[in-house]
Amino acid sequence: MDFDWQVAWNSVPFLLQGAWLTIQLTTIAVFFGIILGTITALLRLTKSPFKYLAIAYTDFMRGTPLLVQIFIIYYGFPPLIQRPIPAYIAAVIALSLNSGAYVAEIIRSGIQSIEIGQTEAALSLGLTYRQTMRHIILPQAFKRVIPPLGNEFIALLKDSSLVSVIALEELVRKAQIVIGRNFRPFETYFVVAIMFLIMTVSISQLVSYLERRLKVGE
């Protein structure tokens, strides 16, 4: 069977709608994931009882498949709260919680890579632990974790295709709809692959640019 370029080209506008939703979901999830991950990382580095809650959260989210997490939120929680959860909201929650667990480990490693002497010096000068983290440790740690955060963004971008199982029309789900119309899976999925490649390469280039800029600013 010959590759039909016309079929591939005709599918692009419809697939671009799904690609936009994929980028939107990933960006929102990483944004909330960074906030949640930073809080979780800080809790894991304290002696607070909440430390064990943070450990349980990261272990659960990193130790179970994202697909199962999506099912739990979309299918499992509605009977408990006695109301349905929209697919978009369920996808954002699942992706954000999953991202937060991985970001927490990234940021925790970044914080621990900063020399302990800087924390001791700041505390000896009268700064509180919170001030030390906010003004001295976290700014340096974030510079060091830019590359792994970029990798997390790329990984989540690709994993976001799993939300197609709850009928959310991101890129992969749009492709399934297109295939149901033209019965040309190879051409359609080829376009999907190219779109994912363009998105991931673009993110990689952006991360490299940010990394260079931050090194210049040191």
What is the widest separation between alpha-carbon atoms in the chain? Answer: 74
Nearest to 152 by CA among 43, 37, 65, 16: 37
The pLDDT of residue 139: 86
Q: Is the pTM of this model over 0.85?
A: yes
Lowest mean pLDDT among 24-38, 122-136, 162-176, 181-195: 122-136
Question: How many other β-carbons are positioned within 10 Å of the β-carbon of residue 97?
Answer: 20
Q: Alpha-carbon distance 102 to 106, whole Å?
A: 6
What is the fold, at CATH topology level, of the domain defined by 5-216?
MetI-like fold (1.10.3720)
Query: DSSP E strands: which ranges in the chain?
Result: none
| Residue range 1-42, pLDDT digits in tens | 688 899 999 999 999 999 999 999 999 999 999 999 999 999
Q: How far separated are the first and last CA of the chain, in Å rounded?
A: 56
Alpha carbon dihedral 120, 122, 123, 129, in 10-degree steps, equals: -100
Per the structure block, which two tokens stand in for 74?
């979309």
| Residue range 76-109, pLDDT digits in tens | 999 999 999 999 999 999 999 999 999 999 999 9
